[in-house]
Amino acid sequence: MKQFSDTNYSASYAKQILMTALIMLSFVVISSRSHAQAKAPWVSPKAAQDVKNPIAGDKASLVDGKKLYATNCAPCHGDKGRGDGPAAAALSPKPADHSSALVQSETDGSLFYKLSEGRNPMPAYKAILNDHQRWALVNYIRTLAKVKK
């Protein structure tokens, strides 16, 4: 059986310490970005704010939007859009309250942009849902202001 020298042991120990330090540094960087993002308001570009919703908020659109919301949004934003879904507690920043005056005051184009582009921890839905589906979600989000506690 080969014996390790003190030099080999020291080099191995130093590598472990270095790897641990790099992992911890990565965690600190990721956490600080999430923390900074949580404090920064999420403002969509002016061009996105001016985009008009091409999908009428009719019954068919709302039915589609509600189904999409239940699957894609409710786990974080909650069934009534209050940001209190079962996954919300583990998220930073916390999910938006879609029933709030702040969200409801945003333009359809702004909501569509945010759904499309996402922001950590929310995914970019442009890769998941087509334009029509995202507009249907915007229409459904508009109905959440009317939901009472």
- Residue 131 and residue 102 in one domain: yes
Q: By CB neighbour count within 10 A (0-12 exposed, 13-18 middle, 19+ buried), where does 40 fall?
A: exposed
Q: Three-state DSSP class for 53?
A: coil
Give 4-18 pLDDT, tens digit per residue: 556 666 777 767 767
- Residue 12 and residue 31 in one domain: yes
- Residue 78 and residue 122 in one domain: yes
- Residue 129 and residue 62 in one domain: yes
- Residue 130 and residue 89 in one domain: yes
The pTM score is: 0.73
- Residue 77 and residue 26 in one domain: no
Q: The domain that contains 76 carries what CATH number?
A: 1.10.760.10
- Residue 85 and residue 62 in one domain: yes
Give 89-143 pLDDT, tens digit per residue: 999 999 999 999 999 999 999 999 999 999 999 999 999 999 999 999 999 999 9
Domains in the chain, number: 2
Q: What is the mean pLDDT of residues 83-94?
A: 95
- Residue 25 and residue 57 in one domain: no
The answer to whether 109 and 52 have CB atoms below 8 angstroms apart is yes
Look at 3-7, 34-38, 49-53, 117-121 and tell me which has the smallest mean pLDDT: 34-38
Other C-beta atoms closer than 10 Å to the C-beta of 64 total 18
pLDDT value of residue 147: 55
- Residue 24 and residue 78 in one domain: no
**C-alpha torsion angle, residues 87, 115, 61, 84 (rounded to 10):** 20
- Residue 77 and residue 136 in one domain: yes
The answer to whether 117 and 124 have CB atoms below 8 angstroms apart is yes
- Provide the token pair at 61: 């659109």
Q: What is the mean pLDDT of residues 69-74?
A: 97
- Residue 105 and residue 34 in one domain: no
- Residue 105 and residue 139 in one domain: yes
For 91, the domain range is 46-146
